[in-house]
Amino acid sequence: MSEANESIGRIEVAPEVLVTIARIAVQGVEGVQQMAQVPADIARLFQRGLRQDGVLLDLSENKVRFNIYVIMAPHVNLLEASRTIQMVVTEAIDTMIGIPVAAVNVFVEDVHYTKGEVV
């Protein structure tokens, strides 16, 4: 048996680490202006979930699920940017932690226009 496959102990990753990785991955996506607040009514539904800066982590049923709340820039394809968010979060968690992500749900809470900007 190779040394790489031999376990010498246990490794635990705090849920806060998963949230931080997801938040940083999302902030790097073109078109994301900022993270939005997790709506209060949603936060109440997931009392056991961890929430921080627009990311709600649900670890129920031995599955990792993220709800991501963002405010997007104007003149960006919201569908493409949302799919990119799903992809980067999934890849970041898989690459850094090595656990599969069951779902990444993206909620575009607003589009931020600057004063005088035309649609």
Instruction: Measure the CA–CA gap between 15 and 26, rounded to whole angstroms.
Output: 17
Q: Write out the E strands in the chain.
A: 32-35, 50-52, 55-58, 65-72, 103-111
CB contact at 8 A, 18 and 68: no
More confident residue, 117 or 97: 97
Indicate if the pLDDT at residue 1 is higher than 60.
no
**Amino acid, res. 115:** K
Q: How confident is the model at residue 51 (pLDDT cuts 50, 70, 90)?
A: low
CB contact at 8 A, 19 and 55: yes
> If you average pLDDT over residues 18-32, what whole number do you get?
95
Phi first, then psi: give them for residue 80, nearest 5 degrees. Answer: -65, -45
> If you average pLDDT over residues 90-108, what whole number do you get?
95
Instruction: Measure the CA–CA gap between 12 and 15, rounded to whole angstroms.
Output: 9
Least confident of 2-16, 34-48, 60-74: 34-48
Residue 76 Cα distances to 19, 22, 72, 79, 84, angstroms: 25, 21, 8, 9, 12
What average pLDDT does the structure give for the chain? 86
State the pTM of this model.
0.82
More confident residue, 67 or 3: 67
Instruction: Find the helix or strand (DSSP H, E) in which 42 lies.
Output: helix 40-45
Indicate if the pLDDT at residue 75 is higher than 50.
yes
CA 11 to chain centre: 22
